[in-house]
Amino acid sequence: MSDSKRSVRSLIALVFLCCAGGLIFPGAAPAEPSTLKLATLAPKGSLYHRVLQDVGEAFRASRGGSAKATVYPDGVQGTEADMVRRMRIGQLDGALLTVVGLNEIDPTVSGLQFMPMMFQNWEEVDYVREKLRSSLEESLAQKGFVVLFWGDAGWVHFFSKQALTQPEQFKRAKIFAWSGDNKQIGLMKSLGYQPVGLPISDIVPALETGMVDVVPVVPIWALVGQFDRTARHMLPIRWVPITGAAILRKATYDALGPTARDAIALAARKAGDQLRAHRVRQDEESITAMKSRGLEIAVVTPEIAKAWQGLAEQAWPHVRGTMVPADIFDRVKALLSDYRATRK
């Protein structure tokens, strides 16, 4: 065989070995990341933004050198669905998401938020979440995401341009709904309401132009977004808790060294504790601040509370199996029944 033919065959063999890679040689471990990009809808300077910054700083300090951590607040990376898509393609490493965003990854989390007036207080939310936590985190891990910590943003109340108290009155109003949440929008329509799907960033102009009249939202978001300057009436009905978690792409997490993982885990534990400790005070302080600039709070009489509970229970059969998987719905309801029985 000529030397030229031997050279060609050797080159082909080398190319084959390089392409086969992992079939012949162990695959090289991915390099530990030197940057971390995190995002959230939460406003800049809010507690949610700050705890995410603490996680980023823990990563940066553990890596040293030129390591960087960037946190994008205010929804500058888009909606929560956008953030999930960006994580999947590697443009973001992690995000602090509500159940709305987590539901884009796995629907098992929906039982923590999408069941109107199922939870009565934070103790019930904590109890159910702790009972479900290992299975929820396992489900998210199977989809490629690691939970750093869980947290809560407050109870959804109704902010409206006119004083409204009864569920029937709200049927005449145009009500904000999360953009892209077609199941929620469909449920509202089936119950006789008029939902308008919008990004959170569009709420203020929508209120000002009359595109929407009512915004169901937690007080801190109403305060920071200044929704109360147009929607000057609040009905303090604990419709649903807004809860969620900070997550990392499993690919990013797996590439971290032990030092970085430990540093992030410590910051994450502190973050979860901070959010849980602050959630009640945050609602109270936000409402007080809005009252000082003119927000009017409706009195919820037993009759009003009964009417809203009736609406919620009317919605539950529509929620079960659509917005919340039937097995999760039933599990949450059973856990709450057990918890309440021990408190009697």
Note the pLDDT tens digit of each residue in 20-40. 333 333 444 568 999 999 999
- CB under 8 Å to 7, separation ≥6 — which residues? none
Q: H or E stretch including 68?
A: strand 68-72
CATH code, domain carrying 69? 3.40.190.170
In 3D, which of 58, 41, 16, 75 has the Cα closest to residue 256?
Answer: 58
- CB under 8 Å to 18, separation ≥6 — which residues? none
Q: Tell whether the model's pLDDT for residue 11 goes beyond 50.
A: no
Q: H or E stretch including 39?
A: strand 35-40
Q: Tell whether the model's pLDDT for residue 325 goes beyond 70.
A: yes
Report d(CA 139, CA 154) in Å as an integer: 25
Q: Give 241's strand partners.
A: 155
Structural domain of 169: 30-343
Report d(CA 160, CA 333) in Å as an integer: 30
In the chain, the number of structural domains is: 1
Q: What count of other Cβ atoms lies within 10 Å of the Cβ of residue 56? A: 23
Q: Tell whether the model's pLDDT for residue 249 goes beyond 50.
A: yes
The tokens for 89 are 């393609």
pLDDT level of residue 153 (50, 70, 90 thresholds): very high
Within a domain: residue 291?
Answer: yes
Within a domain: residue 149?
Answer: yes
Note the pLDDT tens digit of each residue in 175-189. 999 887 888 999 999
Within a domain: residue 338?
Answer: yes
pLDDT level of residue 65 (50, 70, 90 thresholds): confident
Q: Please tell me the predicted confidence (pLDDT) of residue 4.
A: 44
Q: Give 36's strand partners.
A: 69
> What is the arithmetic mean of pLDDT over 145-155?
97
Q: Is 251 exposed, middle or buried (0-12, 13-18, 19+ CB in 10 A)?
A: middle
Within a domain: residue 4?
Answer: no
Q: Please tell me the predicted confidence (pLDDT) of residue 174.
A: 98
Percent of the chain whose predicted confidence (pLDDT) is above 70: 91
